[in-house]
Amino acid sequence: MKFDYIVIGAGSAGAVLANRLSENPQSTVLLIEAGKKDKGMNIHIPVAYTKLNNSAVDWAYWSEPQKEFLNRRLFLPRGKTLGGSSSTNAMIYIRGNRLDYDKWAALGNAGWSYEDVLPYFKKSEDNQQFQNDYHGKGGALYVSQTGYKTVLADAFIQANQELGYPYNEDVNGEVQDGVTRAQFTIKNGKRWSTAQAFIKPALSRPNLTVFTEAQVSRILIENNKATGIEYWDTKGNKKIIQSNREVIVSAGAFNSPQLLMLSGIGDKDELKNQGIPVVQHLPGVGKNLHDHLFFHVASLASQKVSFNNAETLGNLLRYFFSKKDLFL
Ligand SMILES: Cc1cc2nc3c(=O)[nH]c(=O)nc-3n(C[C@H](O)[C@H](O)[C@H](O)COP(=O)(O)OP(=O)(O)OC[C@H]3O[C@@H](n4cnc5c(N)ncnc54)[C@H](O)[C@@H]3O)c2cc1C
């Protein structure tokens, strides 16, 4: 079996790449995903997202003991299904900061300045609220502010303003600073993951093939060129697929460097310690991870205004029949 492009990982990045690459009917594209299809109900009900942690659609990683946290280990959820972490995340639509993109460009990454990436954000977006220089309409990614307003959010916004933080209606616009009501990738009461937005509309293309439950174990490299992949199929057998043009590694912030190292690309001493033949000494691979910590700050509410008691029969019926109300 041979494809022009092999895209490893059907997450936020891989879904978009598979869609865009298969727009050209002359190119054959394989999108290969370790997780299952995104079928579980909890994936699609926005407020159920916390139930996805440590579930069948989560890699459910734990950090090493962190000395800054009294040697506690931190839970590191990552989506493992079509849509990747966009099928398990909190659905808040928030772009990176202009300064970060500009820094990447200044470091020599041509095409990554904010002015360079903004047209792609706009092309992708179907924003329901904002129509201006920073937002797009008609793209695949549905973005909206939720109609559901809680008194807790109002109080939080007010408290921030009392502390001197400005209210910013659009933190994806000209300025990112300030307190806001989040914009979400939720459409008609359902999670609008990259699987919904980018994979499903492309599935009918004959030049796009999607494998699920297929975990890539190694990138095949010949003469310094990626020529294909080795993966485990659903029966645990190792198989090989060749690529005519490119192998794209979009397996997420943890698994992409892991896969590169399994393929011999990384710090040569670490690779040797693991018995992996060195293809390319690249000491930065798998280093300097920056992540936001995953922990909950819980408070007792004096009134019934939280999501804590959300799962009542009345709320479920209202959600399933009207696709709105408490479940966003
Ligand atoms: C719990 C949680 C909440 C979050 N909330 C938000 C939020 O509200 N807003 C926001 O903007 N961001 C949020 N994020 C972050 C955001 O979801 C990620 O930054 C983004 O999805 C990463 O995209 P990616 O394509 O790099 O990786 P992923 O979307 O994680 O995709 C990687 C894919 O590769 C697959 N894969 C991995 N290894 C292999 C392999 N060897 N072979 C085959 N497939 C493989 C994985 O199963 C996965 O499907 C959250 C993340 C988490 C985990």
The minimum-distance atom of ligand 1 relative to the CA of 231 is 42
- Look at the block and give the residue holding tokens 């793209």: 139
Task: For 92-184, give the CATH class.
Answer: mainly alpha
pLDDT of residue 318: 80
CB of 15 closer than 6 angstroms to any ligand 1 atom: no
Token duo for residue 317: 């019926």
Whether the per-residue pLDDT at 53 is higher than 80: the answer is yes
Instruction: Give the model's pLDDT for residue 294.
Output: 75
Homologous superfamily assigned to 1-90+192-294 = FAD/NAD(P)-binding domain (3.50.50.60)
- When pLDDT is averaged across residues 215-229 and rounded to a whole number, the result is 97
Per residue, the 3-state secondary structure of 210-273, as one string, reads EECCCEEEEEEEECCEEEEEEEECCCCCEEEEEEEEEEEECCHHHHHHHHHHHCCEECHHHHHH
**3-state DSSP percent of the chain in helix, strand and coil, to 5:** 30, 25, 45
Question: Does 86 contact ligand 1 (Cβ within 6 A)?
Answer: yes
185 close to ligand 1 (CB < 6 Angstrom) = no
Q: How far apart are CA 89 and CA 76, in angstroms?
A: 12
Task: Kindly give the distance from the C-alpha atom of residue 111 to the centroid of ligand 1, in angstroms, as a whole number.
Answer: 23
Kindly state if the Cβ of 252 falls inside 6 Å of ligand 1: yes
Q: Where are the alpha helices (DSSP H) in the chain?
A: 12-21, 41-44, 98-106, 114-124, 151-162, 194, 252-262, 268-273, 313-322
| Closest by Cα among 257, 259, 261 to 270 | 261
What integer best gives the mean pLDDT of the chain?
93
Phi, psi angles (nearest 5°) of residue 167 = -80, 130
259: Cβ below 6 Å to ligand 1? yes
In this structure, the strands spanning 225-232 and 215-222 are antiparallel
Closest C-alpha among 74, 70, 72, 43 to residue 61: 74
Instruction: Name the pTM for this structure.
Output: 0.95
Q: Does the C-beta of 46 come closer than 6 Å to ligand 1?
A: no
Q: How far is the CA of 185 from the centre of ligand 1 (A)?
A: 15
- Ligand 1 contact via 92 beta carbon (within 6 Å): yes
**How far is Cα 11 from Cα 3, in angstroms, rounded to an integer?**
20
CB of 151 within 6 A of ligand 1: the answer is no
Model pLDDT for residues 142-194, shown as the tens digit of each residue: 999 877 777 888 999 999 999 999 999 999 999 999 999 999 999 988 999 99
Domain range annotation of the chain: 1-90+192-294, 92-184, 296-328
Q: What gap in Å lies between CA 207 and CA 18, rounded to an integer? A: 10
Q: Ligand 1, atom 51: nearest CA belongs to which residue? A: 89
Residue 49 pLDDT greater than 80, yes or no: yes
